[in-house]
Amino acid sequence: MPESTVTETLAKVRVVLVRPKGSGNIGSVARAMKNTGLRELALVGGGRTESLSARSMAVHARDILDGARRFGTIREAVADCGLVVGTTCRKGLYRDHVELPREMARDMVAAVAGPDAPPAALLFGPEDHGLSNADLRHCQRLVTIPSHPEQPSLNLAQAVMVCLYEIYVAATLGAPREERLKRAPAEAVEALFDRMKDTLLKVGFLDPQNPEHILLALRRVLGRAGLEERDVKILSGLFRQVEWYAQGGWEVAEEKRWQGVKLR
Amino acid sequence: MPESTVTETLAKVRVVLVRPKGSGNIGSVARAMKNTGLRELALVGGGRTESLSARSMAVHARDILDGARRFGTIREAVADCGLVVGTTCRKGLYRDHVELPREMARDMVAAVAGPDAPPAALLFGPEDHGLSNADLRHCQRLVTIPSHPEQPSLNLAQAVMVCLYEIYVAATLGAPREERLKRAPAEAVEALFDRMKDTLLKVGFLDPQNPEHILLALRRVLGRAGLEERDVKILSGLFRQVEWYAQGGWEVAEEKRWQGVKLR
Q: B242 and A242 in contact by Cβ < 8 A?
A: yes
Q: State which CATH number among 1.10.760.10, 1.20.1070.10, 3.40.1280.10, 3.90.1640.10 fits the domain covering B3-173.
A: 3.40.1280.10
Q: Residue A87: helix, strand or coil by DSSP?
A: strand
Span A126-132, average pLDDT = 94
Mean pLDDT score of chain A, rounded to an integer? 87
Q: B217 and A226 in contact by Cβ < 8 A?
A: no
- For B199, residues 6+ apart whose C-beta sits below 8 A from its C-beta are B239, B240, B242, B243, B246
Cα A236 to Cα A194: distance, rounded to the nearest angstrom: 10
Q: State which CATH number among 3.40.50.720, 3.40.1280.10, 2.40.37.10, 3.30.590.10 fits the domain covering A3-172.
A: 3.40.1280.10
Domain(s) labelled CATH 3.40.1280.10 in chain A stretch across: 3-172
- State the smallest CA–CA distance between residue A224 and chain B in angstroms: 5
Q: Comparing C-alpha atoms, which of A182, A190, A196, A198 is closest to residue A230?
A: A182
Cα A191 to Cα A86: distance, rounded to the nearest angstrom: 19
Q: Which of A14-18, B56-60, B79-83, B164-168 has the lowest mean pLDDT?
A: B79-83
Residue B49, classified by CB atoms within 10 Å of its CB into exposed (0-12), middle (13-18) or buried (19+), is buried
Cα B37 to Cα B5: distance, rounded to the nearest angstrom: 12
Chain A residues with CB under 8 Å of B60 CB are 151
Domain(s) labelled CATH 1.10.8.590 in chain A stretch across: 186-263
Span A213-239, average pLDDT = 91
User: What is the model's pLDDT at position B153?
Assistant: 92
Model confidence at A88, pLDDT cuts 50, 70, 90, reads: very high
Cα–chain center distance at A110? 15
- Digit-coded pLDDT (tens) for B131-154: 998 898 888 888 999 999 899 999
Q: Is the per-residue pLDDT at A11 higher than 60? A: yes
The CATH number given to A186-263 is 1.10.8.590
Chain B residues with CB under 8 Å of A154 CB are 31-32, 35, 161
Q: Is residue B176 a contact partner of residue B157, using CB atoms and an 8 Å limit?
A: no
User: What is the model's pLDDT at position A257?
Assistant: 43
- State the smallest CA–CA distance between residue B224 and chain A in angstroms: 5
Q: Is the per-residue pLDDT at B214 higher than 80? A: yes
Model confidence at B1, pLDDT cuts 50, 70, 90, reads: low
Amino acid at A190: E
A111: Cα within 13 Å, side-chain hemisphere: 28
User: What is the model's pLDDT at position B177?
Assistant: 41
- State the smallest CA–CA distance between residue B76 and chain A in angstroms: 29
User: What is the model's pLDDT at position B262?
Assistant: 29
Q: Is the per-residue pLDDT at A226 higher than 70? A: yes
User: What is the model's pLDDT at position A179?
Assistant: 61
ipTM metric: 0.79
